[in-house]
Structures are given as C-alpha cells and as structure tokens.
Structure 1
Amino acid sequence: MSNQTDTNQTMTDQAKVQLQTDSSTVTLVTSIIFNGAITVSVLFAFGIVRRWDKKVYEPRTYLVPKNKRSPKLSSGFLGWLSILKTTDEEIIQRAGLDAYMFLRFFRVFARLFAVFTIIGCAILIPLNAYQQGDERGIDRFTIGNIQTIERLWAHLVITYLFSAAIIYSLYHEYKNFVRLRQEYFTRPENRESVKAKTILVSGIPRELYNKESLKSIFNVFPGGIKHIWLNSDPKDLPKLIEERENLVANLEGVTITLMENYLKHVKQTGGDFENAGQVPKSLRPQHRPLKVPMVGSKVDSLEEYRAEIKTLNEKITKYQNDATKHAPMNSAFIQFNTQTGAQLASTTTIPRLLEIAPNDVIWENLNLSATQRMIRKAISKLVVSALVLLWFIPVTFVASISKLDDLKAKIGFVKTIVDALPNSVVGIIQGVLPAIGLAILMALLPIILRILSRFEGIVSHTKVSISVMSKYFFFLVVNVLLLTTLANGIFSALPLLQTRLPLASTFFITYVLLTFSGAALELCQIGPLVIHFIFKKFLVKTPRQIWTLEKTMASLDWGTTFPPHVLIVCVGLVYSTVAPLILPFVTVHFGLYYLAYLYNFLYVLDQPAESGGLAFRKAVYEVYIGLFIYQLTIIGLMFLKKAYIQGVLSVVLIALTFGIMTATRSLFMHNPSAEFLPADLAGVVDRKRKVIIDQSETNLLLEKDYKNDSHEIDISQATNMQDLDEHAFLHPAFTAKQPVIWLANDKAGIGAEEVRACLKDGVQASTEGASFDYATGRVHVDDKGFPEDRDGNTF
C-alpha cells in the first residue's frame, strides 16, 4: 500500500513537472510570437508612414541650423537604412556628444552580447541539456538542470571570460569617452561660447556678495573676469509673467473664435466677408471674469483680456525696473574672458558648476545654502528608500503572475481558474501580462523621481536628469531584477533555489522580448504621429499654437531613457551563464534600439542642453553593479550545488573585479579630465587637431561658420555660440517682455482691428506672417517665426 502511494505521488510530481515545463515553453513561444508579430508589423508600417509627415519623421532636415541638418532620405521602403552609413563624426556634429555616447552604449553591448550568444549557446546549452537532470522544455537549458559538478567548470570559465570582456570594454569605452569629451569641449565654437567661459558659484557669504569682492577673488585666473551676474530673487514676478502669457494665449484664441463665428454667420446669411464693420457684436466671445463658475456678469472677452494684459504690462515693468524689490540671493554667474580661466576656477574648493547654459538653469534653486541642500538630499534619499519598500507589493504581485503554477499550489481559487483556461491563454497571461504590468508600474516612477531630484536643490536640468538616472536605476535593479528573481522563487525553499532560481529566466526573457516592440514603436513614432494629426486637425487654431506645433521638436530625458537599457545589460549578464538562452534576445534588443535611436537622433530629436556625455559616465558604473550581481549569483549557485572549489574561485573573481573597478574610478572618475579639461588643454590645445590654438584662427573660424549664417541659429543655440546678450544669465523674469499678440490677417479686417485696439492700449500686437482663410476656416503661418523674432531668424 505504501509503495503504491509512493508511486502515485511520484506520478503526480512528474505530472506537475510536465505541466510546469509545458507552461514555461508555451509562455516563451507565445511571447516570441506575440512580440515578434508586433515588432515586424510596426517596422513594416514605419517603412510606409515615414513618408506621410515630414514634421514627425524628418524635422531635422529643415528645423535645425544648416550645419546640423541631416540629408533627405530615399523614399524607398528600406531607404531609411542608409543611416547606417553615417560616420561617428557626423553623429557628433548633428546630434551632440550626449547622443553619440548613448548610441555607442547600444553598439558596444550589441557586439558584446552577440559574442556572448555564440559562446553561451554553443557551449553552455549543450552542457546544461545533455544527460543531466529531469528538467524539460526550455528549463533543461539552464544551469538548474546540471547534476554533474565537473560540468560547472565550464560555467566558471565562461563567467571569467564574460566578466573580463565587460571590464575591458568599460575601461576602453571610458577612456574613449574622456578623449572625445576633451575634443568636444576644445572645439572653436565651444571655446568661445558663453557656456564654456561661465561658472555658477553658490553659497557665497553675504559679506562677499558684491561684484567688487567677487572680481578680486576670481580675477587671479588666466584672462580675468569679463562679466558678473549677481542672482536676485524675482519673488512673484514669474507668476505674473506666466499669467500674462496665459492672457496672451486667451486673447489670440478668442480673436480666432470671432473669425470662426463670423465665418458661420456669413455662410448662414449669405453676406460678404470683406466688411469688418458689419460684424455683429453678438458674435464676439464673452466670459465671466470671476473664476467661480456661473457667478458674475459676462464681459467682452477681447476687451477684458486686452485690459488685463495692459495692467500686467505696467505692473511687470515697474517691478523689473525697481531694483529695491530684487532681494539678493547667495549665488552668481561669473563669465571669464577665456575658457582656461573658467576651467581653473571650477577646480577650486568654492561650490561651482561649469558648462551650464542659461536655458539649463533651475532658477528657483539658486538661493539654497549648502546646509539646506544637504537636508533636502537626506529627505530625498529617505523618500526614495520608502518608495522602494512600498513598490515591493505591486511588483511582487506582477512578477508572481509569471509563475501561475506556484500560485496554483498555494491559492485554491487560482488553481480553479487557471485549470479552466487553455494553454495558449495561460501562455499569454504568463508571457505578456507580467512584462506589461511591470512596464506600467515603472512608467509611474520618473515623475516622482524628477520631483525629488529638483527638491534636492540641483540647479541644472541636465544634472537633475543625471540624478533621476541614478534613482531610477536603483529602483529598476531592486524592484525588477532582484525582487522579481526572488518573487519567482519565493514559494520554494532555499535548497531548491539551485533549480528554481534559473527558472526565473523565463520572466526576464519575456521582459526582454517586450522591448522589441518598444524599439519598433520608438522608431515608428506612432504616438507622436497620432498626436500631431489630432492637434493639427482639431486642437490648434491660433498662429502661435500652429507655429509651436510645427516648429517644436521632441527630445529625450536621459534620466528616464538610459536606466531601462542599463537594466537589460544587468539582466543579460546575471542570466548569461545561468540561462544562456536569454543572450540572443538581449543582443536583438540592443541592435533594434540602436537602429531606432540612431534614426531618431539624426532625423527626429533635438536635445535642448548638452552635458558632454555625463549620462554615459554614470551608466558605466551602473553596469558594474550588474556585474557584481552576476558574480554573486554565480557564487551562490556554485555553493548551493556543492561545487565548493568553483565557488571559491568565483569569490576570487568578484574580489578582482572590485579591485579593478576601484582602480578605474581612481583613474577616471576622480581625475579632473573626466569632468573638467586639464589645465594644459583648456583653451590652449585643440584636442581634435592636436595643435596649439591660434586665437586669430579661432576668431576667423567663428566668423566664417556662424556669423554669416546667424539667421540659421535658433534661440536655444545662440547663447551657446556667441556672447551676444549681456543679460544672458539674468533670471528670465527680469528681462521678459510681453509676447507680441500674434493675430491672423483676414478679409473681414477683424485681426487688423484688434491690432489697432491693442496698440492704442500700449499692448504689442501684429498680424505679420499669419492669415485666416475664410474658404477653409483655417489659419496659415509662414516660416519666419513670431513677430518679435522677425529679424532673419528663419528656418
């Protein structure tokens, strides 16, 4: 009777194993089919739709300065693949060093994982699968199927090889990054820019907060001081300016609404458009000035908005001109006459920030003291730690869905539901939903992390992105890599981890597979295409709205874009030896995203600020974290499988890696050449041409490359090229002018009449470059920009 019971139990266990094996295989196959079909379909659609909308797919062929434009692509289905012929020099010239180092990251790891795939699939998969344990399906290809300890020597050797390849690549790439960064910042156009010669000094004592004291302190550096901007607190001025901008938008909107009302009126009455004096007053838009709904009498919207703008203009101008209302802050921007002076001043012990553009400044954080920043940073870290713990619950739930068999064993009603479903549906639930759910959870984090980083008192948008990058990567490693791995084995006892832990790879393979469609969507720009169509067709109607829609380009936030891909590196490393089947999918991930981002940086995106590749530097050391997790995983598995010699040698490997990383950090991260230019290079040596800088040649180059084409440089670029504005580093609120009310010219003369009424009240307005077409009911604008910018600043 006992033997019969044991036999039945064995049969039951075998049946469970077979079900789990079938489930994991179906999960992988379903995920491959599902994501593969979406990826191929989207890529096919891209080959067609990219010809539909030039603004969405090729804005960099006409919306950027000529020296940064990309050539027009062939209209052929695969004509866009010609981007692969773009040289590194061209990428840096058109997209900047940040974008180039981002692309280089993908290129390096696509090559590395391609090599890892060949080694892992050719050596480890046969060793794991042939004449070993009882695992079936894809699970037999993992290290969990190994029963012969001697075979683990192969895993140890390959772990050493993979680790050595990663370490060498990181060292080589960091060394190359430092060289490129020095070349980039010693180019003539950068050396002579305001950005290169200006530093931000914060935490200035009150007794030194005057131009004379600061000049005496910093005049000792080569070239001396050219200009000092003492930062002042604008208090409520930014809110007043924002309110005025809203009123400007409102006035422009109701004026177009009046034209639309008149168009409907004429169509109904059969009248004549060319008679503005006959526009009935009943057609003029009205609103209640009080913010409480349904309270107060209605007023003429055009007259009310015009009057409010007039009042705000007077109030803002008075505030701007009254220096007594400008409370001093404890920071200042100091512009040197040479890049050398700025670089040397930035290496002093005084808190400072170098290579910051005016449009990159977070002005509200300039007045914080060092103590306030320290306290805020501590609070931020506590909040981040709390969020990591709180995220444990939803992430564990999402990850556990990928192991329904374990849930069935523990929760009765789950077993009833799952057993009633076909295998294909179970495969979709396990292979697709967890990855999608995890992606949604992770998408909510960047907003919170950006708020926390700004709260810390960082004064540069670029630096905020780097801070967000660190926090986001921390979240991803803890809540995706570590927590998901544990969640997939959380229902198993510790002795079973040697077989259960490798099985968590199924979830990560499906997670990587989901990114394939993400890469295709990144390339196809379906979201921006739909949004552009909807806005253009239904939501924008004023000249300003149309111009902004058609002339504004998208950009990437390094803080939220970089970490998910660094996580894929970490996932690929951790499971490279454990479950080598993941390697080809990681390789495809980096290949697809390289293509997508290469196209977008050359033809779609425009980064507002350039840090010179600082996000790449952060990514290098984040990869080291993944390398340590990888080696710790191997150590644990070796000891769990009682392969003690291999385990000890794995400990030696992690010790060696830590020593190499420490040496690398000492060589590069703490070397000023990584953050600053060495004193013998800054403003003295042209790193690209390897020659001593000839100042007269620099002036000549600048004159040739930029002055003749100054009308091709947009506003964001101008402050980085030449010192044309003595107010460059004043808070924008102190120099803000009223945006010219941009109205459309029309046959009925409504726009012209409103312009006259505005000018009479001292409110700047114009119909230049915009017209309302009564035949179509649409506004048309030319390509010369806002009325106040019509000084040759065209595209």
Structure 2
Amino acid sequence: MTYVITFWTCYILYMEYKAVANMRLRHLAAESRRPDQLTVLVRNVPPDPDESVNEHVEHFFCVNHPDHYLCHQVVYNANDLAKLVAQRKAMQNWLTYYENKFERKPSSRPTTKTGYGGFWGTTVDAIDFYTSKMDILAEQEAVEREKIMNDPKAIMPAAFVSFRSRWGTAVCAQTQQCHNPTIWLTEWAPEPRDVFWDNLAIPYVELSIRRLLTTVALFFLIFCFMIPIAFVQSLANLEGIQKVLPFLKPVIEMKTVKSVIQGFLPGIALKIFLIILPTILMTMSQIEGYTSLSYLDRRSAEKYFWFIIVNVFLGSIITGTAFQQLKSFLEQPPTEIPKTVGVSIPMKATFFITYIMVDGWAGIAAEILRVVPLVIFHLKNTFLVKTEQDRQQAMDPGHLDFATSEPRIQFYFLLGLVYAAVAPILLPFIIVFFAFAYVVFRHQVINVYDQKYESGARYWPDVHRRLIICLIISQLLMMGLLSTKKFAKVTALLLPQPILTFWFYRYCAGRFESAFSKFPLQEAMVKDTLEKATEPNLNLKEYLKDAYVHPVFKGNDFDRPRVVDEEESNPLVRTKRTSQGTTRYNSEASSSATTTPVANNDSPRLM
C-alpha cells in the first residue's frame, strides 16, 4: 500500500510540475513588456582606484556588452533620507487632518500639543506647528539628498543594469561575467514593486555570515520555542504571580480574577507567541539579505514549515518540548528515531482529526468571514483615521500571506500521507479541508486580496521540495511503525522508497527547475523580434528611466512609479475588485538603500 501511495503521489507531483513549468513559459511568452524583462541586478562590483562605481559599471558593460547595454541605475545607501521621508509623510498627514478640521469649523483654529502624539507639552496652533515641521524636514531632506550625491561612501557596489533586448538581458543574467566568480555577480532583477530596498545596501560579503547566523538562530527558535512560552505561562499561575509581584496578592485572591488567570492566561500567552511568530520569521529572512519580497516570502515559508513539522507534528506525537525531543533523539541511535516516532502515530489519529476540524475547517471559515480584518478596520476607522489617505490604508485588504498559508496547507498534506495507510479514517477530513480551501482561497485571490507582486510561479520549486520532504517523512515513519510491530522483513522492503523518492526529486529538479530560474534565449529572441516589428519606434531608455527609482527619491510625489501602475493594471489573473489608490506598499520606502537613474554619462542625476 505504501508503494502505491508513493508512486501515485510522485506521478501527480510530476504532472503538476510539468503543468506549472509549461504555464510559466506560456506566461513569460505572453506577458506584456515589463522593466524586469530588460534589467539585471549586479552585485559585488569590485572597487577601482581610477573610477567611481557609476563609471566602473558603465565602462564594464560598454566593453563586455557593447551591442546590448542601454543604461544603469546605481544603488545608494539612503538610510537617513528614508527616515526623513517617512517623518515628512507623517507630518503631511497630520497637517492635512488639521486643515480639513479648520475648513469644517473656520471660526476657531485647531490646536495641538508639542509632545509626542499631541498628548502633552505646550499648546500651539496645529496648522502652523505642522507647517513649520514640514518646512524643517524639507530642508533636512534636501541637505541629506545633497550629502548622498556627494559622498562616495553612499554608493553601494551594486546597480540595476538595463539592456536593449531580452536576449541580451538573458545572456548577462545567466552567465558568469568575470574570471573571478565572486565579483560582478548578476541575477534577474525583481520587478520594481517586488524589490525590497532595505537589503540592497547590505554589502554582499556579509550575506554568508548573516545567513549562517540566521540558520543557527532558527535552530534555537524551533527547538527552544516552548521555553519562553513556559516562562510566561508559569507567571500565569497564582503562585508565580505572587512570587514576582507580591503586592498584587489581594487582587489575585479575588474569585473572578483567579478564574481568569487560571483559565485564560496560559492559552492567551501561547496564542500571542504564535501570532508574532510569522513576524519573527520574516525579520530573520530580512536579516539574511534577500532583495525581493517574493524571495522573502519563500524563505519565511521554509522556516515556518520546519517550525510546524517540529513543534506541531512531532510535538503532538511525542510528549515534551521540542528541546526535550531533540535531547531524546540525540541520546539514541539514528535508526531508532523513526521507531520512536512511529510507535506513537496510530495513537494520535483521533487528536489530528480534532486538530483538522478545529484548526483546518475553522481556519477556512475564518478566512472567508475575515472577522479579524473587519474588527481591525472598524477600530482604525474609529480611532486612527484622520484623512482620506488613512481611510484608504484602513480599507486595504492586504495580500495573501504565502509565508504562513502555504506551509499550513503542506502540513495537512503531510498528515494525509502519514495516515493514508495507518488510519485511513483521517482522509475524509483532509479531503473536505482541501476542497473548502480550494474554493475559499480561489475566491479570496480573485475577489478580495491585492496582488503584491508577480513572480511567475517561482514559488513552485520550493513547494515541490517540501512536498517531497513530507513524502519522505511519511515513508520513514511507516518504516519505524512496522519495525515496532516486529515486521522486520516488510520493513526491509520499504528501504528503497526514500531513495527512489529522492531520485525522483533530483530528476524533476533537473528536468523542470531551470524553467523557474532561467529564460530560454530562443523565447527571448522571439519576443524581441515581435516587439521590434510591432513597436519599431519604442524608446526603451525613456521607458526604463524611472523603473528602479526608489520611492524616497520621488521628492514631493509620494505615488508609485508609472511602471508599477502599469503592472497592476495588467494582472495575471483578472479580478473583480480594483486596488485602492493608496496601499501600505506605497509607504515601504523607509529603507537603507535607494537607486537613482544613471544615463550614459559620468554623473548620477535624480529623477
């Protein structure tokens, strides 16, 4: 039976991988012109004693790509400028609020206090106060811009380089540029709205160290996650609170307070930690230095997946914290680990049925009802909305959170594989979950959520790999379960399964994965030829000049670049809802890096 499940799963995964790869290639062939099709991100530009980074980039690509190089935009470290821009946006919003208030009631000018949030300090005229604040910040911003332009240290060894054709872009992005493989590193540039500007200012040499430290931190987060929860929950009992805060003893001894502390606080403590977990994992991914929002989502999903495997799956099967599980695993031979876990699997079938109904079915119902976003909107609308911009931000439906939704769905896939042969009674509950999940998420993507970026299904290789991991885990646990039932000969027959599954994964990666990281030169030439035939007078330099300009260099224009608006008006999936004019992605400008467009000349210029 396990071989039937394995071969059927591999067959479905193969057909799905093939279908997704073909859809991606058709999408790339059919999509309209976008800046990322003609741009590469160059990192680790080597220093030159005679040329600036700007001149060095131009010189290198003029020499090595003379027929295809068009222009470039160097990357600047503008951390202080980004903070000033964010502050000025906040001041502008307050100024607009008080001006509207004065228009509604011109008989008296509005006042505010000079302290934080207007809650304390000297009472002053609000319009004059925020106007003066705006003027001061505008002057500081102008000084900071000039400082960045004149400081060579503000120029990072990176640039967005644009080409005249997709063919030339593909050649540059997919080849080694120098005999030294550690410099002049090129990769496909993310689309403009997908760029995570903060990480462009991170020196490339730091990335390996950052990722190593993040991996170590993730290990301790996964296996020690219950330690801070246990500490907080220890304070949730009466003795712990009285020991730490003895002056609260009279309050704690009240019957109502005692019941709340004993009944609700432990669960609330666990829930709070689980709510902030995705934020922690996303922060760790940002520290790793990835330069696109899509890649950050993929890395966060990877981390969340392993957290669920250890703390939810193994944590539910084996009693004790993850750290205790790790200790027990280290104290026994590796061959005994599947046996230790496998013996507990049948006994937990009832628990996981309940878990599917409580977390899975209820989670899908909560997704379609969106009760929490509705409550948050009304709270914002009541207490925080001051201007029309605030209202638009409060009404922003957000985007589908791949970093948490996708690993949770894969967890249910793992449960189905593990219990398909052990306790098939679990399968109807999982099938119902996937059926409702398909209907609900399809509705949410089409009618509710905004599209944050378009990566063209680059997520799929990561999804495929984690599904293969789920399949191998189920095979190892089945071997461990059978070994506890004294079926040694049957267990030996199952040994080839993980090996064949891993070989299948390697075959699929070699067969299809290149379609998700490379663009065929043949397809690039076809698109270039068609574009030249249909638009012979196209001015690519004009089209690309503002594509990768950071929002903080937009001056008083806080809107998104023109190319981003074009992308949102031509989505991959036509939706029934229209995006609000201003979303929270517009304000993701507080960063440590920025770019300015550079034409084929020696001095950078701001747009």
- Using the size of structure 1 for normalisation, the TM-score is 0.58
1:380 to 2:214 alignment = yes
Give per-residue Cα distances to partners, 1:81-109, cap 9 Å, x unaligned. Answer: xxxxxxxxxxxxxxxxxxxxxxxxxxxxx
Could you tell me which amino acid in structure 2 is paired with residue 184 of structure 1? H
Of 607-616 and 530-539, the range deviating more from structure 2: 530-539
Which segments of 5 or more consecutive residues in structure 1 lack a partner in the other structure? 1-157, 263-275, 398-428, 686-691, 704-720, 741-782, 787-795
Match of 2:294 in 1: 462
CA contact under 8 A between 2:343 and 2:480: conserved in structure 1?
no
Whole-Å separation in 1 of the counterparts to 2:270 and 2:112: 48
Match of 1:166 in 2: 9
CA contact under 8 A between 1:237 and 1:733: conserved in structure 2?
yes
Match of 2:531 in 1: 695
Of 440, 443, 447, which residue of structure 1 is paired with 2:279? Answer: 447
Whole-Å separation in 2 of the counterparts to 1:605 and 1:722: 33
Could you tell me which amino acid in structure 2 is paired with residue 347 of structure 1? Q
Give per-residue Cα distances to partners, 1:31-83, cap 9 Å, x unaligned. Answer: xxxxxxxxxxxxxxxxxxxxxxxxxxxxxxxxxxxxxxxxxxxxxxxxxxxxx
Match of 1:62 in 2: none
Superposed displacement of residue 693, structure 1: 4.9
Of 260, 266, 287, which residue of structure 1 is paired with 2:113? Answer: 287
1:523 to 2:354 alignment = no
- Aligned residue for 2:291, secondary structure, equals coil
Whole-Å separation in 2 of the counterparts to 1:647 and 1:435: 41
1:342 to 2:183 alignment = no
Whole-Å separation in 2 of the counterparts to 1:396 and 1:506: 26
Superposed displacement of residue 695, structure 1: 2.6
- Aligned residue for 1:605, secondary structure, equals coil
1:246 to 2:90 alignment = yes
Give per-residue Cα distances to partners, 1:467-486, cap 9 Å, x unaligned. Answer: 11111111111111122212
Match of 1:583 in 2: 427
Give the % identical residues: 26
Q: Residue 339 and residue 447 in structure 1: after superposition, are their counterparts in 2 closer, same or farther (change >3 A)?
A: same
Give per-residue Cα distances to partners, 1:525-574, cap 9 Å, x unaligned. Answer: 22233333444456424232234445x34212322221111111112111
Superposed displacement of residue 636, structure 1: 1.0
- Aligned residue for 1:353, secondary structure, equals strand
Of 196, 204, 209, which residue of structure 2 is paired with 1:370? Answer: 204
Pairwise mapping of residues 136-215 of structure 1 onto structure 2 (< 5 A)?
158-189=1-32, 192-207=33-48, 210-215=53-58
Q: Residue 390 and residue 355 in structure 1: after superposition, are their counterparts in 2 closer, same or farther (change >3 A)?
A: same
Whole-Å separation in 2 of the counterparts to 1:648 and 1:347: 44
Q: Residue 394 and residue 163 in structure 1: after superposition, are their counterparts in 2 closer, same or farther (change >3 A)?
A: farther
Q: Residue 338 and residue 171 in structure 1: after superposition, are their counterparts in 2 closer, same or farther (change >3 A)?
A: same
1:333 to 2:160 alignment = yes
Whole-Å separation in 2 of the counterparts to 1:518 and 1:581: 21
Provide the alpha-carbon RMSD of the alignment: 3.6
CA contact under 8 A between 1:244 and 1:738: conserved in structure 2?
no
Whole-Å separation in 1 of the counterparts to 2:37 and 2:342: 55
Could you tell me which amino acid in structure 1 is paired with residue 277 of structure 2? L
Whole-Å separation in 2 of the counterparts to 1:483 and 1:200: 42
CA contact under 8 A between 1:392 and 1:483: conserved in structure 2?
no
Whole-Å separation in 1 of the counterparts to 2:111 and 2:464: 58
Of 632, 640, 644, which residue of structure 1 is paired with 2:488? Answer: 644
Pairwise mapping of residues 295-314 of structure 1 onto structure 2 (< 5 A)?
295=121, 297-314=122-139
- Aligned residue for 2:175, secondary structure, equals coil
Whole-Å separation in 2 of the counterparts to 1:470 and 1:680: 33
CA contact under 8 A between 2:318 and 2:344: conserved in structure 1?
no
Whole-Å separation in 2 of the counterparts to 1:356 and 1:472: 23
- Aligned residue for 1:206, secondary structure, equals coil
Give per-residue Cα distances to partners, 1:436-479, cap 9 Å, x unaligned. Answer: 99776543321111111111111111111111111111111111
- Using the size of structure 2 for normalisation, the TM-score is 0.75
Superposed displacement of residue 668, structure 1: 2.9
- Aligned residue for 1:186, secondary structure, equals helix
Match of 1:20 in 2: none
- Aligned residue for 2:454, secondary structure, equals coil
CA contact under 8 A between 1:362 and 1:459: conserved in structure 2?
yes
CA contact under 8 A between 2:91 and 2:133: conserved in structure 1?
yes
Length, aligned pairs only: 507
Which segments of 5 or more consecutive residues in structure 2 lack a partner in the other structure? 177-183, 232-262, 560-578, 583-607
Give per-residue Cα distances to partners, 1:400-445, cap 9 Å, x unaligned. Answer: xxxxxxxxxxxxxxxxxxxxxxxxxxxxx9xxx9999977654332
Superposed displacement of residue 164, structure 1: 0.7
CA contact under 8 A between 1:195 and 1:356: conserved in structure 2?
yes
Whole-Å separation in 1 of the counterparts to 2:266 and 2:4: 33
Match of 2:239 in 1: none
- Aligned residue for 2:158, secondary structure, equals strand
Q: Residue 784 and residue 571 in structure 1: after superposition, are their counterparts in 2 closer, same or farther (change >3 A)?
A: closer
CA contact under 8 A between 1:288 and 1:299: conserved in structure 2?
yes
Pairwise mapping of residues 368-767 of structure 1 onto structure 2 (< 5 A)?
368-392=202-226, 441-487=273-319, 500-514=344-358, 515-536=360-381, 539-550=384-395, 552-669=396-513, 672-684=514-526, 693-696=529-532, 698-699=534-535, 724=543, 726-737=545-556
Superposed displacement of residue 314, structure 1: 2.6
- Aligned residue for 1:330, secondary structure, equals strand
Could you tell me which amino acid in structure 2 is paired with residue 336 of structure 1? F
1:218 to 2:218 alignment = no
